[in-house]
Structure 1
């Protein structure tokens, strides 16, 4: 069960890392906010589902 409890946090960390990396290449604010919102949404979904 400990592994399953860590999975959502691992996913969130990976999404945040992807946001930071790809965010540097985005030229406008809207895509950054969208990707940030999607990362938070997926993190929340995974946290609830586990």
Structure 2
């Protein structure tokens, strides 16, 4: 995982997931989790972008 990916996972979790997986259910889950709360979105982004 590059430093850019780590920073995107922290500051813009849906964008990091989109760049790796494209527009799909994984992105939508990340977007919803980030809208509910920032921390769940960050955790999901780190898990998905291993």
Larger Rg: 1
Query: Which one has a larger percent helix, Structure 1 or Structure 2?
Result: 1
Give the TM interval when normalised to the shorter protein: 0.3 to 0.5
Q: Considering Cα pairs closer than 8 Å and 6+ residues apart, tell me whether 1 or 2 has the greater RCO.
A: 1
